Amino acid sequence: MRTTFTERFVDLAVNAFLWGFRILIVLMIVLGTFFTIRAGKYSGEQWIDFFVFGVSQGAIYALIALGYTMVYGILRMINFAHGDIFMTGAFGGYFMAIWLNSTGFIDRNPILGLLIPILFAMLLAASIAMLVERVAYRPLRNAPRLVPLIAAIGASFFIEYAFRGFFGPGKYAYPPIRVLEGNWDILGINILKVQVVVAIAAFIMMAILYSIVMYTKMGKAMRAVSESKDNAALMGIDVNRIIVSTFALGAAMAGAAGVLFALVYRQIDFFMGFTPGVKAFTAAVLGGIGNIPGAMVGGLLLGIFESVGPSLFLEGLGITRAYQLKDVIAYTMLVMILLFRPQGILGERISKQKA
């Protein structure tokens, strides 16, 4: 097809702009890093601290991102209520922990005292997600793609303000868990116990989820439905059941993430799901939406860059109060990924039938 001169010119200009933008960002990162390290404000231990904070935050993002990516993989739909499912998990875990704490159970059995709120939160989050799927998404399964998206936003508001109605707009403080206070000395590095536990718990959860998807019958069915709903149904797979279990699995991960979040940051409120939800969505896109290991990698990278980035890239450029720009780093990463590698870090090639 012949193109006119103006069209070619516009093409060229857009390309030149995009390349200029890429070069500018890379230059900023390199220069910022160089000057920060030359200034030598932070000790090696502090850099490790930044990194560890990033890993524990990133592990939580990754857990939430899994739910986005699994639902997208199966339904090609962004479940914007997922951040609020995360919030319901945090509330469930909170009330369970408060009750266990008041009976003194947590002090007697610290490990069970951690596990029971997490399991309860997973159960609660999964049931709420299944309810939302049944009420808000299933009737719209064959509607145009924008319709379930809007329904998801509606469900998000509904959950938020239902919780606000029940529990009020205030903040709740998660009870302190005594065994998690203080530091561990690991290879000569002081790391907060709670960070280690949260990161390990998140990795165990992700490993469990990955093996469910890869090595069980249900996981196989999920992958089949994700390839093609109609063909899977012809092969005798109950598509509705698989979709519901996908929602439940993703929500259970988010529910656990909610309790881990409450353990690290110690306060919860009805609106807490919004920002982590958006960040986790960013992480899912970073890793390649629809791809489960991608969501894990994306979440970890996002957490680490958010924590290390302001000090490493921005302070060297003479930007003061760099931590106010934490979100800028997160979303710049998103823009960069969409420019350099639109399918995401581990992304699948978008085939015709899926696009």
Partner 1 sequence: MKRLLSLISLLVLASMVLAACGAGAPAYECTDSLGCVTIGPDEPVHVAYWGVLSGADGTLGEDSKRGVEIAIDDMGGKFHDHDILLTTEDALCTPEGGATAASKLAADTSIVALIGSSCSDETVGGIAAITNAGLTTISPSNTRPALSDPNRGPDYAGYLRTAHSDAFQGKAVAEFAYNVLGARKAATIHDGSAYAEALQQVFADNFAALGGEIVAQEAVAKDATDMRPVLTSIAASAPEFLYYPVFVAAGGYITAQVREIAGLEDVKIAGSDGIFTPDFVEAAGANVQGMYLSSPDFSAFPEGYAAFVEKHNAKYSEAPLSIFHAHAYDATGIVFAALEKVAVIQDDGTIYVPRKALRDAIYATKDYKGITGSLSCSASGDCGAPVIAVYEIVNSDPASWNPQDAANPNPKKVYP
Residues at the contact surface with partner 1, assessed by CB under 8 A: 41-43, 45-46, 49-50, 53-54, 57, 164, 169-173, 176, 190, 192, 261, 265-267, 269, 271-272, 274-276, 306-308, 310-311, 315, 320-324, 326-327
Locate tokens 């990924």: which residue?
337
CA distance 62 to 10: 39
Cα–Cα distances in angstroms (integers) from residue 346 to residues 67, 79, 295, 314, 343, in the given order? 17, 21, 9, 27, 8
Q: Which is nearer to partner 1, 292 or 302 (CB)?
A: 302
- Which is closer to partner 1, CB of 231 or CB of 275? 275
Q: What is the C-alpha to C-alpha distance for residues 315 and 31, in angstroms, rounded to an integer?
A: 10
Measured from the CB atom, the residue of 175 and 347 that comes closer to partner 1 is 175
Q: How many residues does the chain have?
A: 355
Of 42 and 95, which CB lies nearer to partner 1 in the complex structure? 42
What DSSP assignment string belongs to 199-251? Answer: HHHHHHHHHHHHHHHHHSHHHHHHHHHHH-HHHHHHTT--HHHHHHHHHHHHH
Smallest gap from residue 260 Cβ to partner 1 (A) = 13
CA distance 35 to 39: 6
- Rounded to an integer, what is the distance from CA 39 to the centroid of its chain? 34
For residue 172, CA distances in Å to 106, 142, 262, 269, 280 come to 18, 40, 10, 6, 23
Beta-carbon contacts of 90 under 8 Å, excluding residues fewer than 6 positions away, are 121, 258, 259, 261, 262, 268, 272, 273
Q: State the nearest-atom distance from the C-beta of 168 to partner 1, in Å.
A: 9
Pick 193 or 229: Cβ nearer partner 1: 193
Compare residues 164 and 229 and give the one whose CB is closer to partner 1. Answer: 164
Give min distance, CB of 324 to partner 1, in A.
Answer: 4
Nearer to partner 1, 109 or 183 (CB): 183
CB of 334 to partner 1, least distance (A): 17
Minimum separation from the CB atom of position 333 to partner 1 (A): 16
User: Least distance from C-beta 211 to partner 1, angstroms?
Assistant: 30
Task: Give the nearer residue to partner 1 in terms of CB position, either 95 or 271.
Answer: 271
φ/ψ of residue 233, rounded to 5: -65, -40
Pairing of strands 189-192, 172-173: unpaired
The residue among 201 and 289 lying less far from partner 1, judged by its C-beta, is 201
d(CA 70, CA 295): 9
- Comparing CA positions, the residue from 249, 278, 226, 228 lying closest to residue 130 is 249
Of the two residues 45 and 107, which places its CB atom closer to partner 1 in the complex? 45
CB of 319 to partner 1, least distance (A): 11
Q: Are 264 and 194 in contact (CB under 8 A)?
A: yes
- Gap between the Cα atoms of 108 and 344, Å rounded: 46
Q: Least distance from C-beta 46 to partner 1, angstroms? A: 6
Give least dist CB 313 to partner 1, A.
13
Give, as one character, the DSSP assignment of residue 349.
P
Q: Could you tell me the smallest distance in angstroms from the CB atom of residue 325 to partner 1? A: 9
